[in-house]
Structure 1
């Protein structure tokens, strides 16, 4: 009869990611220094073995009273990073509300999207040419709306 063994999960908890309280998040006072550090990390050379990688960072836009989590997707092409697109998977904080928004993709306005894209472009996270062909929140919303119309037409 086989011996029944117990699987110990306590060892797995050691490297577990801890979720920081949103109250501990601080808005950087010197935005230029923050963006400089961000770009230094971005340009330091990525040693990934996958064909695609995500560069994730936070950015505060005082004019919208929001702090965003942004994800930029890149593909490795001839040892260079080719920009594929970006999205806002989560707001860190909406300063005008007490609760945090978990699904901002649908809550982001075209004005916000354009301002975020402009800031990323000015920072050098992608070129203007790459931005023209990339997937953005506004393009994704349009694509999903067109797809929904096609689905609705199938069932009508």
Structure 2
């Protein structure tokens, strides 16, 4: 998902007059909460069972695509001159296929005997970590 979005993101940036990012140009936010999502994602990749990984992915996918569709609609309405490459980047997909795949992974994990309470706990942590990330980057 991330690697597929890079060419689209670069096209959107060029449409706005932003050239390819320079190495080292992004220094990231200074607050630790900005990194909580990446930290949790690393933990999930290394330690979570299929049920927890599936639910964590579902939370991430649902939040990202729902927000992206809202942002695309806002950009289209509030900024009539916004390049279509930018609007398309955010409004191109609703993520249903990826969400279904994430839920199928969670179902597989549960069928294999994963503890549903752990899966729900990891999903809640994912939601909280995403909120911390966006709050920190908004500052």
Scaled by the length of structure 2, the TM-score of the pair is 0.27
Q: Which has the higher helix share?
A: 2
Higher normalized contact order (CA 8 Å, seq sep 6+, divided by chain length):
2
Query: Which has the larger strand fraction?
Result: 1
Structure with max Cα Rg: 1
